Amino acid sequence: MKKILVLLVLVGAVAAAIWRPWEDDTVAIDLGVDRAIAESVSIRTLTDEITIRGELRRDELQVVTASSAGKVGAVTVADGDTVAAGDLLLSVDGRQVVAVDGDFAFYRSLDVGSEGADVRQLEEVLSAAGHDVGDIDDLYTEETRAGLAAWQAAHGYVGTAPEADEVVTVTLQAN
């Protein structure tokens, strides 16, 4: 009987060691640790891609108007292109229409003596394009006219800058 009792105690001890009723059955998962996910081995091409979800909008929609009528011969930009100052946009009657950087559209004819913010903007555009206009200010001068003529010649607008009025006095002497 003693042997049976010892055997039962040993079987109970082994069963208790295997079963461990004093330990919690739930497994704690540490969410701060990355876990490996098994994947079957396969041959494929690796790509470097990022998928971003969002909405794309224009900052500003700009309407371009022409001061005179003409035929559009070529359009060198497509819808959605990014345009920078100096880029050729299109040609009208064989003349280039070039993008310039400015706060507003040119709205009047300028000549020597004209003053205003549009004159300053014109001088800034010409100076940025590498043409000498003298001091950049609000006054349209002969230097501004010369810089504009050089810019226009570079873009196929030869002879469009207005010439200064000249008065020639001729006196005839009697014979």
Side chain identity at 6, as an amino acid letter?
V
pLDDT for residue 124:
94
27 pLDDT above the threshold of 80: no
Question: What does each C-alpha distance from 150 to 47, 146, 157 come to in angstroms?
Answer: 51, 6, 9
pLDDT for residue 163:
55
| Vertex 41: Cα angle to 36 and 43 (nearest 5) | 125
**Percent of the chain predicted with pLDDT > 70:** 76
Q: Please count the CA atoms within 13 angstroms of the CA of 45 that sit on its side-chain side.
A: 3
Cβ–Cβ under 8 Å, residues 69 and 55: no
Query: Model pTM?
Result: 0.53
DSSP state of 163: P
131 pLDDT above the threshold of 60: yes
Sign of the CA dihedral running 119, 120, 126, 131: positive
